[in-house]
Amino acid sequence: MSKPYSPNNGITEDITFQWLTDMYGDEYRTWAKLSNRWLARQHKGLSSKKNALNRFYKSFMVPLNLASNPLTFIDRSTPVPDFFEEAINPSKSYIDPVGKRQAITYNNYLQQFLTYVLEELVGVEDDFGNLTIPHKYRNPFSIKRRTGLEVAETVRTPLPYKYIQELR
C-alpha cells in the first residue's frame, strides 16, 4: 500500500493529489478530491498551499494514524494533535521539522482548507443564504499569528565596506 518516498515519484508535480491514493490507498480518495477542488479555487500562493497539503498528508495524517475519512477527522469528538507543534517538533524521527514561520504559514493554509472541507461536506444553508456548520463538527486548526516571533535576520541594509574600514 505505501510506496517509499523518492524524489521522482511525482508528488511535487501532481496537482490532482493522485499520489495520495497511490501511496496510501483508496481510503484517502475523498481527501484527494477535496484537496484538488480547494486548490483549483485558489489564485495566489499555489505552490505553498500545495506544499502545506502535501505536508499535512505525508507528515501529519498518515504517520499519526489520523482518520482517513474527512467527516471523522472534523468530528468534534475526534482528538486531533496540534499541527503547528507537530510541524516544528515532529513526534516521528523520520519527519523533518520546519521553521516556526513556515509552520505558521502551513497551519493557516490548512485552517482555510479545513474550513472549505467543513463547508463542502456538512455546511447547511440557512434562511438568509449563509452557510452554517452543525455543532457536531469543527475545524481542529486555528489561525496562528506571527506576532512575538523573534526575527533571525535584519531588515536593515548592511553598512558599506569602505565605511567600516574608515571607522577602524
Binning pLDDT at 50, 70 and 90, where does residue 134 land? very high
Q: What is the mean pLDDT of residues 99-106?
A: 89
User: For residue 43, what are the contacts with CB-CB under 8 A and spacing of at least 6?
Assistant: none
Q: What is the mean pLDDT of residues 66-79?
A: 95
Chain centre distance of CA 83? 8
Is residue 4 over pLDDT 60?
A: no
Give the number of other CB atoms < 10 A from CB of residue 50: 20
| pLDDT value, residue 10 | 58
Please indicate, yes or no, whether the overall pTM of this predicted structure exceeds 0.85: no
pLDDT tens for each residue of 5-23: 455 455 667 788 999 999 9
User: Among 64-68, 79-83, 92-96, where is mean pLDDT lowest?
Assistant: 92-96
Q: Rounded distance, CA 59 to CA 57, Å?
A: 6
Top mean-pLDDT range of 88-102, 123-137, 138-152: 123-137
Chain centre distance of CA 104? 9
Q: Rounded distance, CA 31 to CA 60, Å?
A: 13
| pLDDT value, residue 8 | 43
Buried b (16+ CB within 10 A) or exposed e, 58-84: bbbbbeeebebebeebbbeeeebeebb
Nearest to 150 by CA among 103, 100, 84, 107: 100
**Residue 25 corresponds to which cell in the numbers above?**
490507498
Q: What is the mean pLDDT of residues 140-168?
A: 77
Q: Rounded distance, CA 61 to CA 50, Å?
A: 15
Q: What is the mean pLDDT of residues 81-106?
A: 86
Give the number of other CB atoms < 10 A from CB of residue 166: 8
**Residue 111 corresponds to which cell in the numbers above?**
485552517
Domain residue ranges in the chain = 18-167
pLDDT tens for each residue of 13-60: 778 899 999 999 999 999 999 999 999 999 999 999 999 999 999 999
Is residue 155 over pLDDT 70?
A: no
Compute the Cα dihedral for 101, 119, 47, 69 and give only its sign.
Answer: positive
